[in-house]
A and B are shown apart, each in its own frame.
Chain A
Amino acid sequence: MPHYVSAVLAAVLAAFAHTLITLGSHRTAGGHWLRVHFDSRVVAGYALLSIASLLSLWAYRVLPLKVAVAIVPIQQVSVLILARVTLQERLSVTQIIGTMFIFFGMIIFGLQST
């Protein structure tokens, strides 16, 4: 059970990390190109990504690989929800349909490992 929680937590943390990196990259737009890599939100985002990597590494030492087929879409959905809530990003109907294609594509792509 803790390994399942760890795998899901890693996916959600990675989504938060990408949101932080996005916020940092927008905050430093227009400045020197190197400035983005020293922005506190970008640094925090990459620190979160590192923690998420360690959590998933720990989780997948025990969990079967077929769990990843379910976890990867969770991460994609988390990113989309966070982008909508925190960044107010909007997707057109065509883009939502495209996103659904990618979700199912990734699930089917990973089916042979189950």
Chain B
Amino acid sequence: MPNGRRTALLSSRYGRPHDFDESRAPLLGPKMKTNRTASASAPGLHSSVCLILAIIFATMSAAFGKAAALSLARFDAYSVATSPYYAMSLACVGMQALVWPFALRGYSLSHAYMTMSVVYLNLLMIAHFVFSESITWPNILGAALIAIGNVLIAAGRGS
């Protein structure tokens, strides 16, 4: 299929390319440029769901890691290897690794990576309501700034 027709077909499927200049990309070959142009445009439901799942799995991984640390009586190889919380934490890391590349197909790396900072907000809630940890003013102020930053990044995508 000619490159122009392929690009048009992919663009119609994935949306209009607007944040990627393929003629200036030094690392992408001709075939990759076509794919990149299409996939870097408006993210589909698939990529959005994968980005949300990546955030959820990253949050759960940290939470299970904390639970594993609290549940271990001794910190040795056997205790870590047999800890169900630690196994759950590793499983969440694996699940995040599975969905992360799909999120990156629809979102630019800079957008997706900065959006992952939502994990800080989730962990703040879990730390307080599940692990009964105290929340400090720097926590609240930092979380508020992160939340505002994420709203601005999401809003700026369409501008």
A residues in contact (CB < 8 Å) with B = 18-19, 21-30, 33, 36-37, 42, 46, 76, 79-80, 82-84, 86-112
Instruction: State the interface size on chain B (CB cutoff 8 A).
Output: 53
The answer to whether A102 and B114 touch (CB under 8 A), given A93-B156, A95-B153, is yes
Measured CB to CB, the nearest residue on chain B to A111 is B138
A sample of 19 more A-B contacts (CB under 8 A), given A82-B109, A99-B153, is A19-B109, A22-B101, A29-B36, A83-B109, A84-B110, A88-B24, A93-B156, A93-B159, A94-B159, A101-B145, A102-B114, A103-B149, A104-B145, A105-B144, A105-B147, A105-B148, A106-B117, A107-B142, A108-B138
Chain B positions 129 through 153: 1 when the CB is less than 8 Å from some CB of chain A, otherwise 0: 0000000101101111111111111
Name the contact of A102 in the complex, choosing from B24, B26, B36, B150 (C-beta under 8 A): B150
Do residues A26 and B28 form an inter-chain contact, with CB atoms below 8 A?
Answer: yes
Contact indicator B108/A87 (Cβ below 8 Å): yes
Cα(A42)–Cα(B136), bound, Å: 39
Residue in chain B with minimal CB distance to A20: B27
13 A-B pairs with C-beta separation under 8 A: A21-B100, A24-B101, A46-B97, A79-B110, A87-B25, A88-B20, A88-B22, A91-B156, A92-B157, A95-B156, A99-B110, A109-B138, A112-B136
Tell me how many residue pairs across A and B have CB atoms closer than 8 Å: 166
| CB–CB B36/A36 < 8 A | no
State in angstroms the CA–CA spacing of A82 and B32 once bound together: 18
Pair A22/B146 contact, Cβ less than 8 Å: no
- Most central of A76, A91, A97 by chain B CB within 10 Å: A91
Rank and list the top 4 A-B pairs by shortest CB-CB distance, nearest first: A109-B142, A98-B152, A94-B156, A105-B145
A contact face: mostly helix, strand, loop, or mixed: helix
On whether the beta carbons of B148 and A98 are closer than 8 Å, the reply is: yes
Known: A37-B98, A97-B152, A101-B152. A18 touches B113 (CB 8 A): yes
